[in-house]
Amino acid sequence: MLYKLQKEGYSAYLVGGCVRDLLLGREPKDFDVVTNADPEEIKKVFRNCRLIGRRFRLAHVHFGREVIEVATFRGPAESKNDEKQVLNNEGRLLRDNVYGTIEEDVWRRDFTVNALYYNIKDFSVVDYVDGMTDHKAAQLKLIGDPETRFREDPVRMIRAVRFAVKLGFNIDHDCEVAMHKVADLLSSIPSARLYDEAIKLFLSGYALQTFEMLRHYGLFQVLFPATEQSLAVEENGYPKQLLIKALENSDNRIADGKTVTAYFLFAAFLWESVQTSAKHKVSRGVPEYVAYQDAANEVIAQQVKSTALPRHITLAMREVWSLQAKFNARYGSKPSRLITHPRFRAGYDFLCLRAETGGVDPELAEWWGKYQEASENDQRKMTQPPRKSTGAKSPRKRGYRPRAKKTTPGSDV
């Protein structure tokens, strides 16, 4: 792509995370290209190109399942009233399609380590903002005034946390000060965009560290306000451990090359909130099953206002939650029906998570673990209810009459 753009008379560079990661000896997940060709010109060069975005006009060039993102050099707005660059009252960029040169483009990027350009003409790294120095020092530093840059796009605060954890970098002191000051601006970001960011944050193998750092800067409470509220309540002097354990398990599975599901982790995030609400309803006389259903509806309805969890995610979360009460039924035909439920495995894993953190009797989780492994005959034995022994003699059969005793003449009767 780079050579083809150059052949057509345009300049083109690799930029951003791919250059940063290659310098660290890591394999980049994707590659970003930047050029002086505008989106329409890029589309003329590549027939397999699709233009996307309104806020940032970008070209996506498709090669089978692979997609290479190509952006045009961005420049400064000519005036505050430039229709190509629109900001809201808080200073957040709503549209930014002002094009320029590479020297201007670099000042529109976020962190210095993400503003390194790889030039294929001489195989060099072009650095305008001393990004190589910060890269070697393992430091995340914003280009320009941190507070202004965070106001332009508050999601940069989340990106700072994600990069710091993923790369093992430190966040620059001035950035930290600004993050503590304007963390609440994150609530102005559309909830759908925050969901996309939450997936990157918690399903990349560094969930626990990310969670702790987000709380440190006051960002987690914007993403999951109900969870933050529940974490503020302690039981017996100890904070709730279910969420911590869920995050650890998720990181371990990713490290082992196993799959992780967003709905399971988010179910753990909101479980305490659901329980608290349900218990309150039960205390007011609402039947337990109805109380938990209503609590789940209310908690999810509030959550999607902050982070727009898709419907397929929330439906799966509800199923995992609803299965928890059903695990208490261990006799009769219910266990054999429950084990065929599509979400049984996720529900069972959630039960084990609760057992590990004191939320349920570990014996219950052990029983279900044995039940899954048992043969069909043993499963029938395990689900037979215990016999009740009253100690009383069995009643006589209906119609029973004792025989008359034979007597001999002259004997006493």
- At residue 387, the pLDDT reads 77
189 φ/ψ angles, rounded to the nearest 5 degrees: -80, 140
Strands 93-96 and 116-119: unpaired
Quote the pTM value: 0.82
Task: Quote the CA–CA distance of 143 and 115 in Å, as a whole number.
Answer: 9
The tokens describing 341, both together, are 């439920």
What are the boundaries of each domain within the chain? 1-136, 190-383
- At residue 81, the pLDDT reads 44
pLDDT along the chain (413 residues), means of 10: 93 94 92 92 92 83 89 73 51 62 91 95 94 96 95 95 96 96 95 96 95 96 94 68 94 93 96 92 91 94 96 96 93 93 96 92 95 93 80 55 54 44
- CATH topology identical between 1-136 and 190-383: no
- Closest of 9, 11, 8 to residue 120, by C-alpha: 11
Contact call for residues 68 and 130 (beta carbons, < 8 A): no
Summarize pLDDT for 329-342 with one digit per residue, the tens: 999 999 999 999 99
- At residue 403, the pLDDT reads 60
Task: Quote the CA–CA distance of 202 and 265 in Å, as a whole number.
Answer: 8
3-state secondary structure of 76: coil
Q: What is the CATH number of domain 1-136?
A: 3.30.460.10
- Closest of 188, 105, 181 to residue 154, by C-alpha: 188
3-state secondary structure of 108: helix
Q: What is 255-285 written as a DSSP string?
A: HTT----HHHHHHHHHHHHHHHHHHHHHHTT
Task: Quote the CA–CA distance of 333 and 57 in Å, as a whole number.
Answer: 59
Q: Which residues are catalytic?
A: 30, 32, 110
- At residue 80, the pLDDT reads 44
Using the structure block, give the residue that is written with the tokens 């508050």.
Answer: 154
For CA atoms 184, 188, 191, 192, the dihedral sign is negative
Give CA torsion, residues 118, 120, 123, 125, to 10 deg.
-20
Task: Quote the CA–CA distance of 8 and 22 in Å, as a whole number.
Answer: 27
The tokens describing 80, both together, are 């505050």
Maximal CA-CA distance, the chain:
139
- At residue 11, the pLDDT reads 94
Task: Quote the CA–CA distance of 273 and 154 in Å, as a whole number.
Answer: 27
- At residue 240, the pLDDT reads 78
- At residue 239, the pLDDT reads 59
CATH fold of the domain at 190-383: cca-adding enzyme, domain 2 (1.10.3090)
Cα separation of the two ends of the chain: 119
- At residue 65, the pLDDT reads 85
Q: How many helices (H) and strands (E) does the chain have?
A: 20, 11
